[in-house]
Structure 1
Amino acid sequence: MALETKKGRTIGAAAKAAGLGVETIRFYERKGLIVQPPKHGGFRTYSDNDIKQLRFIRKAKTLGFTLDAIKSLLALESGTEESNAVIHAKSEETIREIQQKIAELEQMLASLQKFSTSCAHGKKTSAKHCGLLECFEKDWDCC
């Protein structure tokens, strides 16, 4: 049952407000991304700031940041000049990683398109007759 109190929200209410699952929040607590809040009236209660952090984690993950990078970014909340440089560096690192993933996906797409046009629609009627393993070794240049 999701419950909101004057002191904060239970984990169920926090999960709903942040757009996450309860187990995801517990996972983030175990990984040290957020601090497990204190209990009030037998329930752990999450503050508005906890909800902001959880939303930040969710959004940062959609941008491609790793959990370690997100943890570092959360630690920099003070906003000093040094932290701005670290935020920039982490962002640039993530951009490079995403660009690498895009290049790999484009290569996969090109290979699948080549496979589709050469082997899957080739003259031979079955994969057995096409020599699928041999085609793979020759970068689909065989059927």
Structure 2
Amino acid sequence: MAPLTIRPGVEISEAELRWRFSRSSGPGGQGVNTTDSRVELSWDLEATTALRPALKERARERLGNRLVDGVLTVVASEHRAQLRNREAALDRLADLVRRAIEPPPPPRRATRPSRGAKERRISAKKRRGEIKRLRRPDDGG
């Protein structure tokens, strides 16, 4: 099987992935009781050679609550066929790792609203206040 491509230059080899299969709950009728279609895919983040140390540290920080002893595990059991669940687990793992190692967004540059934006905001507030004032009953009666 080919390595799992996370992004260009980052690939997890098949040897680093651990598979477990078990009987799944959910759709499948009588077949559920006889086939091991539920898939657990585990990947040891601490022992991997696929990530540079900086990316490994970033992934460790972002996946901290999902890691158990440095191992990331995903489960797929939504399909009736084991093969489809294997594909779903691979996609899920790749997506998790991809999001965990992406660089942080650039810091936001503080800006102030323009004069035109302030004027539009104030005039909108005045229009709204006028609408509400016109809804009030007359006090004269």
**TM-score, normalised via structure 1 length:** 0.26
- Structure with higher helix content: 1
**Which structure has the bigger radius of gyration?**
2
Q: Which has the higher contact order (CA 8 A, sep 6+)?
A: 2
- Structure with higher strand content: 2
